[in-house]
Amino acid sequence: MPSLPHHENPTPRHSLRNQILEDRPVNQDGFVQEWPEVGMVAMDSEFDPRPSIRIENGRVAEMDGRERADFDFLDQFIADHAIDVDAAERAMALGPGTVARMLVDPNVTRDEVLRTARGLTPAALLETVRRMNIVEIMMGMQKMRARRTPANQAHCTSARDNPLQVAMEAAEASLRGFSELETTLGVVRYAPLVAIALQVGGQVGRGGRLTQCALEEATELDLGMRGITAYAETISVYGTESVFVDGDDTPWSKAFLAAAYASRGIKMRFTSGTGSEVQMGNAEGRSMLYLEIRCILVTKGAGVQGLQNGSISCIGVPGAVPSGIRAVAAENMIASMLDLECASGNDQSFSHSPMRRTSRLMPQIMAGTDFVCSGYSATPNYDNMFAGSNVDAEDYDDWNAIQRDYQIDGGLQHVGEAEILAARSRAGHALQAVFAHLGLPPITDREIETAVYAHGSNDLLPRDVLEDLKGAQSVTDRGVTGLDLVKALHEGGFADVADHLLTVLRQRVSGDLLQTSAILDDNLEPLSAVNDANDYTGPGTGYRPSGERWERMKRLRHVTSAENPELEVS
Amino acid sequence: MATTTAPGIELREIGRAGHGTRPDEVVLALSPGFAGFFTRTITDIPHAQVVRQILAGIEEQGGQARVIRLHATADLAAVAHTAARLSGSGIGIGVLSRGTSMIHQKDLPRLSSLELFPQSPLMTPEVFRAIGRNAAQYAKGESPQPVPTLNDQMARPRWQAKAALLHLKECELLVKGAPATEVEPVIDDPA
């Protein structure tokens, strides 16, 4: 081989174009090589088990090459509670190629896929999606999503844990279309006040938004039982026994917690996602997606209606390896093909690149999922106490334009400023009334006025944090419940908000929010996979934005009038 | 006993790490790959700088520093807690190769700590110095203001996967059951 010409100057000269590319935001993202031996690989690893099943005496005797005697506790839980032994032999005999085609083929109904999927082992599910490219995965998602109508979820948080800000963000988010609102805290002791604020703000205007506060599990359950929150989401499951055990948990303890919520009619879902096990150094040499499939099956086996997945807080890990974002889309689709509600991620800061951020959304927003984001930051990201989301309050207009461009429903809509200011103001005054009724530190009119017009917590009047924390403690000590909030709202002159909250609370008596993928519709009636089942069977079928909804989606901040091009309509 | 090096620093292992007796002592425990397989933190702070800043911080407060290396674990809580348990004052600092750090106290549960610095990309030489200072103050029985922790929403996309890789690599260096060793650091860092 001829040697390369030797340059006298050892410092290489760079082109201007190279410098431009070097400085692009995408090059601030982290990318790493695969290392399958330790699980640093998205979904293509020779160390993953191969599909197999043997049923003896009505139970799984061998699964994915492992005898029952050698099962770890995840294998055991999945074999005994997630896999339908009556469906298993037929489903496994179809082979992954056939199942993959069933997912894509519009002539095969959702129900047919469900009947097959319930008999598949983790390795068989993995082999199935390994055959599918991203468009095929999106086609599968479009058909398999549980609820016909897609929806969205917002994060409403404050870097200062300011309850007033959270109430206003909740009211604005509700107006913009989010069906679920989630909060969490910087200072955990603030939780009761912030959860109350979220609950009150979410009932302003149309109301009926379901709220939750992400906390340590026992506190989260307590707030739910007292009716200060309406659902729970941050119940984490993991794909290896060692990570589960590190968290002092087992699939059975998580199933017990799920039952506690169900006993009170409270909606809940589990959380999992690719990358968590390898991040913690305990992937046991399996690919990220294989381990995530075990999480999805544990969720199924625990009898929980839904799952938040899509890597979630570990998105930087699959995001850094080849085919990682395809694996993340696949994990969403697998949750759906196992008939679980899927809150599909897009909830954590993912990339410095605006193009990559958008591309990350596409599989979920285009195919439609039960919740496209399992939190869209309703605040600017600096206020996002979930460590930043992939989309935030500064992206609303972009989101609405994308919905309009493709006629796809990501759950949001453009709302004029006057309407937003009115809702924020009303939420502020409603919370002021609730705080006054409960004897909590007062909220002043000046605080409300400032917060109505604010963008984020940097623009707010600071609160007396120590007094607020005492108030928060008293809420816990006195055992304040959702009904106390209803009374406070009613007596404070907010009868409509009180009525909405009471309607939300009454759902736990009927148990309708325990149905798969339940939200409340415009009339505060439950909309779930039971009364709004996904009926996609090919072109022209399934959910398509139409009628009033599509007209609403056509509106943007600036649209030139066709009638008089010198005017704008919005 | 091995000697490992990284630019500007040499770590000479001189024997099995024992319990200290000085009441003003702070033990600094380093992870298996520190200044050996690895030479700098996740954001390229040289390991020589890290050790120098922490020791200088301890010295500033009139504390006595001792350095050990762990071989059997790369778990930050275990590293820092071992340092605390071997420390004459009961105060120890644990540092992983990528820069993640913790100040620990021997009577606290292992998974608790006095101060935790979980985001390795946000560590700076100043923060390492402040960690040394605070640890020495705890050793004297004082209650210093915790070192302010930083936050960056974009740390995840930039660093999360590399942090995982660094952790996995460091775990490969573990020697099961090997006791902690006493280390004599020789620092030749102009900074």
- Within A185-310, residue ranges assigned H as helices are 191-201, 217-225, 241-246, 251-263, 276-279, 288-301
The partner residue sitting opposite A32, judged by closest CB among B156, B162, B171, is B162
Question: Which of the four pLDDT bands, split at 50, 70 and 90, describes residue B1?
Answer: confident
The full DSSP string for A121-189 is -HHHHHHHHHT--HHHHHHHHHHH-SBSS---EEE---TT--HHHHHHHHHHHHHHT-SEEEE--SSGG
Inter-residue contact A235 to A484 (CB < 8 Å)? no
Q: How far apart are CA A480 and CA A223, in angstroms?
A: 10
pLDDT at B149: 76
Residue B150: is its pLDDT beyond 60? yes
Q: What is the pLDDT of residues B50-106, one digit of tens each?
A: 999 999 999 999 999 999 999 999 999 999 999 999 999 999 999 999 999 999 999
Spatial separation of the C-alpha atoms in residues A331 and A237, rounded to whole Å? 14
Chain B's closest residue to A320, CA to CA, is: B161
Q: Do A38 and B168 touch (CB under 8 A)?
A: yes
Q: Can you give the pLDDT at residue A432? A: 98
Query: Which of A281, A316, A384 is closest, CB to CB, to B157?
Result: A316
Q: Do A388 and B153 touch (CB under 8 A)?
A: yes
Tell me the chain A residues in contact with residue B164 when contact means C-beta distances shorter than 8 Å.
40, 275, 278-279, 281, 317
What's the whole-number mean pLDDT along residues A475-484? 97
**Catalytic status, residue A233:** yes
Provide the pLDDT confidence category of residue A36 given band limits of 50, 70 and 90.
very high
**Is A28's CB within 8 Å of B167's CB?**
no
Annotated active-site residue A155? The verdict is yes
Q: Nearest CA to B79 among B87, B88, B89, B69?
A: B69
Residues of A in contact with B154 (CB under 8 A): 28, 349, 352, 388
Percent of chain A with pLDDT over 90: 95
CA angle A30, A32, A36 (to 5 degrees): 145
Interface check for A497 against chain B (CB to CB < 8 A): the answer is no
> Least CA distance to B76: which residue of chain A?
A280
- Write the secondary structure of chain B as one string of H (helix), E (strand) and C (coil): CCEEEECCEEEEEEEECCCCCCCCEEEEEECCCCCCCCCECCCCCEHHHHHHHHHHHHHHCCCEEEEEECCCCCCHHHHHHHHHHHCCCCEEEEECCCCCEEEEECCCCCCCCCEEECCHHHCCHHHHHHHHHHHHHHHCCCCCCCCCCCCCCCHHHHHHHHHHHHHHHHHHCCCCCCCCEEEEEEECCCC
Given this model, what pLDDT does residue A248 score?
A: 84
pLDDT score for B148: 86
pLDDT of the residue at A281: 87
Distance CA B166, CA B66 (A): 26
For chain B, which residues lie within 8 Å of any Cβ of chain A, measuring from their own Cβ? Answer: 151, 153-154, 156-165, 167-168, 171
- In the block, tokens 């992206």 appear at A395
Phi, psi of B94 (to 5 degrees): -115, 135
Provide the pLDDT for residue A7. Answer: 54
Q: Is A415 exposed, middle or buried (0-12, 13-18, 19+ CB in 10 A)?
A: buried
β-strands B101-105, B115-117 pairing: antiparallel
DSSP code for A569 = E
Residue A5's pLDDT band, with cuts at 50, 70 and 90, is: low
Q: Which residues pair with B185 in a beta bridge?
A: B11
The active-site residue out of A169, A347, A512, A532 is A347
With an 8 Å Cβ cutoff, are A384 and B153 in contact?
Answer: yes
Torsional sign, CA A185, A190, A191, A193: negative
The runs of H, that is alpha helices, within A264-287 are 276-279
| Closest-CA distance of chain B to residue A466, Å | 18
Distance CA A325, CA A344 (A): 12
Residue A186 pLDDT: 87
Summarised one tens digit per residue, pLDDT across range B100-147 is: 999 999 999 988 899 999 899 999 999 999 999 999 999 999 999 999
d(CA B21, nearest CA chain A) in Å: 33
Q: At what angle do helices A417-437 and A445-452 cross, to 10 degrees?
A: 150
Residues of B in contact with A30 (CB under 8 A): 157-162
**pTM value?**
0.94
Report yes or no: A36 at the B interface, CB cutoff 8 Å: no
DSSP state, residue A348: S
Residue B188: its pLDDT value, please? 87
Please report where in the chains the tokens 């004599």 appear, as a residue: B184
Output the pLDDT for position A10. 76
A359 is an active site residue: no
Residue of A nearest to B164 (CA): A279
- Residue A560 pairs in a beta bridge with A568
Specify the pLDDT at position A6.
56
Q: What is the mean pLDDT of residues A234-252?
A: 92
Instruction: Please give the DSSP secondary-structure letter assigned to residue A81.
Output: I
Query: Which is catalytic among the residues A127, A169, A220, A233?
Result: A233
CA-based nearest distance B25→chain A, Å: 32
- Give the Cα-Cα-Cα angle A22, B169, B53 (nearest 5 degrees): 75
pLDDT, one tens digit per residue, over A304-326 is: 999 999 999 999 999 999 999 99
Q: How many angstroms separate the Cα of B53 from the Cα of each of A128, B128, B134, B191?
A: 53, 6, 12, 10
As a whole number of angstroms, the distance between CA A434 and CA A14 comes to 63
Are residues B158 and A31, on separate chains, in Cβ contact within 8 Å? Answer: no
Which chain A residues are Cβ-neighbours of B168 within 8 angstroms? 35, 38, 40, 278, 281
The interface predicted TM-score (ipTM) is 0.89
The confidence score (pLDDT) of residue B102 equals 97
Which chain B residue lies closest to A319 (C-alpha atoms)? B157
Q: Which strand (E) or helix (H) includes residue A476?
A: helix A465-478
Tokens of A132: 């599918």
Q: Indicate the angle between helix axes A324-337 and A288-301, nearest 10 degrees.
A: 20
The 10s digit of each residue's pLDDT in A147-195 is 999 999 999 999 999 999 999 999 999 999 999 999 999 888 999 999 9
**Can A546 be counted among the known catalytic residues?**
no
**In terms of Cα–Cα distance, which of B98, B87, B177 is closest to B138?**
B87
Q: Would you say A297 and A263 are in contact if contact means Cβ atoms under 8 Å apart?
A: no
Q: Among A7-16, A414-423, A540-549, which stretch is predicted with the lowest mean pLDDT?
A: A7-16
Q: What is the pLDDT of residues A363-395, one digit of tens each?
A: 999 999 999 999 999 999 999 999 999 999 999
Handedness of CA A89, A91, A96, A97 (dihedral sign): positive
pLDDT at residue A8, rounded to an integer: 60
**What pLDDT does A146 receive?**
98
Q: What is the pLDDT of residues A71-114, one digit of tens each?
A: 999 999 999 999 999 999 999 999 999 999 999 999 999 999 99
Tell me, yes or no, if A515 is annotated catalytic: no
pLDDT value of position A11: 85
Position A4 scores a pLDDT of 55
Task: Give the residue on B whose Cα is nearest the Cα of A387.
Answer: B153
